[in-house]
Amino acid sequence: MQLEHLVQDLTIVQLHGELQREVRGVAYHSGQVAEGSLFVAIKGTQSNGHDFIGQAIERGAHSLVVEKPLDPVPGVTTIEVPNTRTALARISNRFCGFPSHGLTVIGITGTNGKTTTAYLLESILEACELQVGVIGTVNIRYPGHVRSAPVTTPESLDLQQNLREMLDAGVTHVVMEVSSHGLDMHRVDGTRFAVGLFTNLSQDHLDYHGSMEKYFGAKSRLFSQILQQNGDAQALAVINIDDVWGRQLCSQIDGPLLRYGMAADAQIRADKVQCDSSGIQAQLHTPVGLVEVHSSLLGRLNLYNLLAATSVAVGLGLSLEAISRGEQSLARVPGRLEVVPNDMGFQILVDYAHTPDALEKALDSLRELQFRKIICVFGCGGDRDRGKRPLMGEAAAQRADLVVITSDNPRSEVPETIMADIEAGVRGQGLPLLSSLAECRNNCHRGYTLMVDRSEAIRQAIDCAGDGDVVYIGGKGHENYQILGDKRIDFDDRIVATEALEERRKRQKENTRH
């Protein structure tokens, strides 16, 4: 593609060199540059692409897009623009042939519920015999293809390349989790969405955004700016009005809007709700009729995910029968209140909850299921929002019988420091410190303990569980790694829990023999 054509949408501050040259590839990472490439230098949270311009040229980049003045380089075209991130989004979209224009793209944003709602929508769309692609936290997938997802919302070039692949493979509908980072960093700019969904907003990522207002501002970009790029086709906004930020967002919508929740003025709402250990049953009222829901997903928090998915599906004009069938056929979501199977008389659940609100809702859902005792194992990630740590400690102490504070992904922080931040919130609720988990075995005493080794924390929590109890392991969910310093080691809560169960089973057999 000709460079002149690729950059025609950009605001050019300064130009050195010729625009009449062929671009064979686009890159924003110097290691991905090949001969004849256009290199776009973007600023990241850890590094700045402008520091790697020399390497990009050495690898064959003949054109550069930058956002600070550079001295002319012989044989290299340099284009200075106000913002290279918005430039990368526009260039990537054009280079990939505007793939979203040929797809029905559903964007899901909010603090919690994005992944589960994406799985539900995928199941509903498949029940309609549609070809579905998903871009989200767990992975990127479409029929016959699954790849890992290093971030929830890919960089704009990677996003458009993924959409192009999906379109070429016959995908018709794409469900995408849209993160606040992705919106703030212009990764989805230029993507044409048919629907934008807002699930909720609660404290998270304040280490990046600085305040809840700025966090909300990033999320609301999907509705105030991105959905407005659709030209003649008006995109639909679907919003949870039980959420205070959702109600605020509704007042900003100038276009088609569907409101869901339990509130009386919700257009999609639920009644006759029954939540138990087998899942959720409910009747959902929609503008086009009633939907009977029978889902194996656990807890009232998943009722909101079912409402969200139903609202989007109704907005797309899908049949109520297919919606019901699709929701019923989804048996599990990786790391989202995911059951670890066992036959020992208690329940083990692995969950991704890593915000105060998510932990509160998960534990409230378990309380409603009336377990004898809730044993909560969790930690908080390092190098992230420190303010939420004591809040998560408070949430756990208020709702669980036994709290085991442990390590999560400490990254560059000392795990004990992170755990101390959590402990402050637990202590504030008056929960007593226990010398060991053995104190809680076979009884319902309340208390908390600290254990840096996450594997050992999970093992001892499972050893402590009795008939009718639940062991809730929160924070990492589907993740199959743990980040310690600059190292990433293999670690999966589900595998550790399964191994702990087997160890307990062997000990019980040995004790029986003796």
Residue 217, pLDDT above cutoff 80:
yes
DSSP characters for 158-203?
HHHHHHHHHHHTT--EEEEE--HHHHHTTTTTT---SEEEE----S
pLDDT at 211: 94
Task: Provide the pLDDT for residue 445.
Answer: 77
Closest to 236 measured CA to CA, from 200, 193, 203: 193
- Class for domain 99-329, per CATH? alpha beta
357 pLDDT above the threshold of 80: yes
What architecture is the 3-95 domain classified under in CATH? 3-Layer(aba) Sandwich (3.40)
> What is the C-alpha separation between 389 and 378, in angstroms, rounded?
11
Interval 56-99: pLDDT, tens: 999 999 999 999 999 999 999 999 999 999 999 999 999 999 99
pLDDT tens digits along 88-128: 999 999 999 999 999 999 999 999 999 999 999 999 999 99
How confident is residue 510, by pLDDT bands cut at 50, 70 and 90? confident
DSSP 123: H
CB 376 within 8 A of CB 402: yes
Q: What's the whole-number mean pLDDT along residues 236-256? A: 96
Alpha-carbon span 79 to 21, nearest angstrom: 13
DSSP structure string for 264-284: TT-SBEEEEEEEETTEEEEEE
Span 456-490, pLDDT tens digits: 999 999 999 999 999 999 999 999 999 999 999 99
Distance CA 35, CA 70 (A): 21
| Average pLDDT of every residue of the chain | 95
How many CA atoms within 13 Å lie on the side-chain side of 171? 27
| Model confidence pLDDT, tens digit, residues 370-412 | 999 999 999 999 999 999 999 999 999 999 999 999 999 999 9
- What architecture is the 338-513 domain classified under in CATH? Alpha-Beta Complex (3.90)
Domain residue limits, the chain: 3-95, 99-329, 338-513
- Per-residue pLDDT at 228 exceeds 90: no
Beta bridge partners of 40: 65
**pLDDT value for 435:** 83
| pTM higher than 0.75 | yes
C-alpha separations of 29 from 52, 54, 154, 475 in Å? 8, 12, 13, 31
- Kindly state the tokens that stand for 372: 């004898």
When mean pLDDT is compared across 136-150, 200-214, 276-290, 482-496, the lowest value belongs to: 200-214
For residue 359, pLDDT over 70 is answered with yes
